[in-house]
Amino acid sequence: MVLREPHLDRAQVIVGLSLGHRTLRAADHWLVEQVPGLGSDLIACTHLVTDPYPHVALSLAGTAAEPLAELAVTPPELRAAAARAAGEHAARRSGRAVHFPGADHMIGILTVGELLAAGAIERVVALGGASVTPDTPVHTRDFVRPQWQAGELVLVTMPHHAGGLAPFEVPDPTPCCADH
């Protein structure tokens, strides 16, 4: 599904794709391989969907997102999932950003102020009541996945053992029941 947002400065294109990826890791890998060179304004997100079966749909927004829709064709049975992903992205209601402006600068330790200045992330929140100030260090672990929440691209963080914060989502999560 392709949506156009004419009210923006340039013609914003929002593309929904659903290729049946079963895991976030598989969807992330596909996006990382496919999106380079599609424009500096591109935001590529993952969306967990349940219909017609649990999988990860994708959304891409940017002035050059449409060529990717031509590269990957959503199968007919997954078109509703693709349309939902595009609609959620267009409404800035949900979606986990894998690629976004400034993502390549989100490495090492940055302050909240540096992180916000470096790209598309609009707000940093901390779980557990941790303080968030512009000088708070964020240990990125070179893996930053902000999410659309109420119209903003938000990075959810948690306290880091060395002080400061770290993104809530870890780069290599332990699978559920890994020790069974």
**What residue ranges do the domains of the chain occupy?**
2-99, 103-167
Closest CA to 74 of 2, 133, 149: 2
Q: Whole-angstrom Cα distance, residue 140 to residue 65?
A: 27
Q: Whole-angstrom Cα distance, residue 44 to residue 172?
A: 20
DSSP string, the chain: -EEEETTSSS-EEEEEEEEEE-SHHHHHHHHHHH-TTS-TT-EEEEEEE-SSSSEEEEEEEETT-HHHHHHSPPPGGGHHHHHHHHHHHHTTSS-EEEE-TTGGG--SEEEHHHHHHHSS--EEEEGGG----TT-EEE-TT----EEETTEEEEEEEE-TTSSEEESS-SSPPPTTTT-
Dump pLDDT digits (tens) for 129-150: 888 999 999 999 999 999 999 9
Percent of the chain's residues with pLDDT above 70: 86
At residue 121, the pLDDT reads 96
Using CA atoms, how far residue 44 sits from 25, 61, 105, 113, 135, in Å, is 14, 6, 16, 23, 28
* pTM across the whole model: 0.87
Dump pLDDT digits (tens) for 82-107: 999 999 999 999 999 999 999 999 99
Q: Which two tokens stand for residue 5?
A: 């947002």
Q: For the chain, what's the residue count?
A: 180
Closest CA to 145 of 136, 155, 137: 155
Q: Mean pLDDT across the stretch 56-66?
A: 85
CB-CB contact of 62 with 128 (8 Å)? no
pLDDT exceeds cutoff 50 at 168: yes
